[in-house]
Structure 1
Amino acid sequence: MMDKVILMKRIFKVIEKYFFIIVILAVIISMIEPKLFNWVLSEVNGINIINLLLGVVLFTMGTTLKVDNFVNVFRNPKAVAVGVSAQYIVMPLIAFVLASLFSLDAGLTVGLILVGTVPGGTASDVITFLAGGDVALSVSMTAVSTVLSPLLTPLITLLLIGNQIHFDPVAMFISVFQIVIIPIATGLLLNYKFPTFCEKLGDYLPGLSSLVVCIIVAGVIGANKQAILTSFGVIMGVIVLQYFISMGLGFVVGHFAGLNKKQMITVAIELAFQNSGLSTSLAKTHFPSLTQATVPGAIYSAWQNLAGSIIAYLYKRYYS
């Protein structure tokens, strides 16, 4: 029995460690056999499976959070405020400008805007650690931006595209609350009540979360195979630009805000790493007629983890 437990721990650790490779494999498999992942975008009793999968990811995030993560906001309010403000001002504007410059169609525009308006992704905490940044700041920024997302994601999306593409921001608020806040709050409560149990789960949940994200990416890529092949060059170029521009501006914002080197690294990474799974889920739920709206989030997820792993190594070696 003990051998099986040790084996399971190792398997999940490998999945966590080599997530960026697994997500690339998931993309390749979904392009070869797209029907394998058709179930990801289907519904069960009127509930989108992709929303349930994302709930699993955010629940695992909640089990890693503690009340202290939110207390840190008051201990270091300047850095958190700078990072979160940039998250909800700089990233959406980058997405909007790039969508306009490249004259993306309605579906890809919506998808790119949603990538820009969702909160930071949990992978940023890992990349920050690997890059030698301020992990406590990263966790605080992710937590705060996520808590604010039910209000800010629909509001900013409405401001940027509401006059061009109709959607219901109140319904989106409810979706973000259900998809994000409830799973995170449940995980946070579990960690508060049973910290030892959650510590044990820590050997498995990051790997599980990584695997679920790979499944989400594969589902979206497979469902949009033809659209991706048709517009891959453009959307990939836009996403790469969005990623590196946001990271560069993260350094600029951090510098002018007077942050130290570790904090600047953290803000840059946090700005570039988005909860792309949430953007994909919102695109599927609130823009069902724009099938390509789910594509930017899926491609961004694969790209940010691949590029982030390489950048973390370079930061650690040459900058931190």
Structure 2
Amino acid sequence: MKRIFKLIEKYFFIIILVAVVISLIYPSLFNWVLSEYNGISILNLLLSIVLFTMGTTLKVDDFVNVFKNPKEIAVGISAQYLIMPLLALALASVFSLNTALTVGLILVGTVPGGTASDVITFLAKGDVALSVSLTAVSTIISPILTPIITLFLIGNQINFSPVDMFISIIEIVIIPIILGLILNYKFPDFCEKLKDYLPALSSIVICLIVAGVIGVNKHAILTSSSIIIIVIIVQYFLAMLLGFAVGYLAGMSRKQIITVAIELAFQNSGLSTGLAKTHFPSLSQATVPGALYSVWQNFAGSILAYIFRRYV
């Protein structure tokens, strides 16, 4: 059983591509992902599962590391919440995206770093401790910064409640992480055993989220796919390049530069999808950028990790 879970974790980028193909051929198969059960959003519930698994891998020491590397953390977090939102806004303007896709792209830029960055950093032989700290810190402060930055960038175009978004992030992100952290604190040996299975579980859940969003928005994706796919690819690679530049200018080591670049390019795209569905229900296409970004960042990230490991 453990071997199967390891294979799922290892070949996640292939599994997610298969999920996308299936969702395009049989879109109704994943409709349940964006539905509700007894008033509870299944999409948000799935996201909470992913963040809970992240919490079980964290320890108090991970947050202590923040104070051991204050410069690197400050640089990484500043880049996360300054470069990514502004990059998203610039690309939406340059490519003249419609309102829904603009909202979705900006949400991809304003959410915290994705948990997959830690895995890719490990594969790329980067600074894993720094990656974990950056992901944890950016996630913990996201209830404050994500709504504020989103409001600043699109508040004059679309009416939404940043307070409600703050509450959503607390429910979807912070509470599951705290529960996972408590479980790891109380039962460290049990959580250590779970580490063999939780990454694969998170991978499966992310595949379901992506398949659900793409299936529901099949027509919108196929009719506007070329432009939004180009934007997503450009956003990802520009983020990676800017991450390298920021790390280099800050005088970081090779491992730290790779880590900041990966952290900047990897976003919690599942969260952006959940926020788009919850707070912009009239803009169905707003969920599309997050789903496509999730597919691309995991596919391209796996390839780049190999390149970084061998040649950088």
TM-score by length of 1: 0.97
| 1:256 pairs with 2:249 | yes
Task: Determine whether 1:205 maps to 2:198.
Answer: yes
Paired residue for 1:183? 176
2:291 paired with 1:298:
yes
- What's the counterpart of residue 33 of structure 2? 40
Question: Which of the residues 139, 150, 159 maps onto 2:143?
Answer: 150
* In 1, Cα distance between equivalents of 2:297 and 2:79: 18
Q: CA RMSD in A?
A: 0.5
Counting only pairs closer than 5 Å after superposition, residues 61-76 of structure 1 correspond to structure 2 as: 61-76=54-69
Shift of 1:201: 0.8
How far apart are residue 213 of structure 1 and its match?
0.2
Instruction: Give the whole-Å Cα distance in 1 for the aligned partners of 2:20 and 2:83.
Output: 29
Please identify, of 269-278 and 199-208, the stretch whose mean Cα deviation from structure 2 is larger. Answer: 199-208
**CA distance in 1: counterparts of 2:187 and 2:74, whole angstroms:** 30
Pairing partner for 2:222 from 193, 209, 229: 229
Say if 2:186 is the partner of 1:193: yes
Q: Deviations over 1:234-280 (max 9, x none)?
A: 00000000000010000111111111111000000000000000000
* Cα-to-partner distance string for 1:177-212 (whole Å, 9 max, x where unaligned): 100000000000100110000011111111000000
CA deviations 1:121-167 (Å, max 9, x no partner) are: 01000100111110000000000000000000000000000001111
Deviation, 1:47, is 1.2
- Give the corresponding residue for 1:79: 72
Which one-letter code corresponds to 2:42 in the other structure?
I
Any idea what the Cα deviations from partners look like across 1:27-60, whole Å, max 9, x if unmatched? 0000000000000000112111000000000000
Paired amino acid for 1:191: N
Counterpart position of 1:315: 308
Q: Partners in 1 of 2:215 and 2:46 — Cα distance?
A: 16
Letter of the structure 2 residue corresponding to residue 156 of structure 1: I
Q: Percent identity?
A: 75
Q: 2:116 matched to 1:106?
A: no
**Separation in 2, partners of 1:216, 1:37:** 9
Deviates most, 267-276 or 43-52: 43-52
- 2:12 and 2:114 map into 1 onto residues whose CA distance is 14
Which contiguous aligned blocks of 4+ residues in structure 1 show a shift greater than 4 angstroms? none
Residue 31 of structure 1 aligns to a residue in which SS?
helix
Q: What letter matches 1:51 in structure 2?
A: N
Question: Which residues in structure 2 correspond to 1:107-122 (within 5 Å)?
Answer: 107-122=100-115
Correspondence 1:10 to 2:3? yes
CA distance in 2, matches of 1:139, 1:219: 28
How far did residue 313 of structure 1 move?
Answer: 0.5
- Residue 241 of structure 1 corresponds to 234
The answer for unaligned runs of 5 or more in structure 2 is: none
Letter of the 2:306 counterpart: Y
Instruction: Determine helix, strand or coil for the equivalent of 1:165.
Output: coil
The match for 2:259 among 266, 278, 286 is: 266
Quote the Cα distance in structure 1 between the aligned partners of 2:58 and 2:88. Answer: 29
Q: 1:23 aligns with which of 16, 26, 38?
A: 16
Q: Supply the distance in 1 between the matched residues of 2:146 and 2:13 (Cα, whole angstroms).
A: 26
- Aligned partner of 2:48 in structure 1 is 55
In structure 2, what is the Cα distance between the partners aligned to 1:185 and 1:125? 19
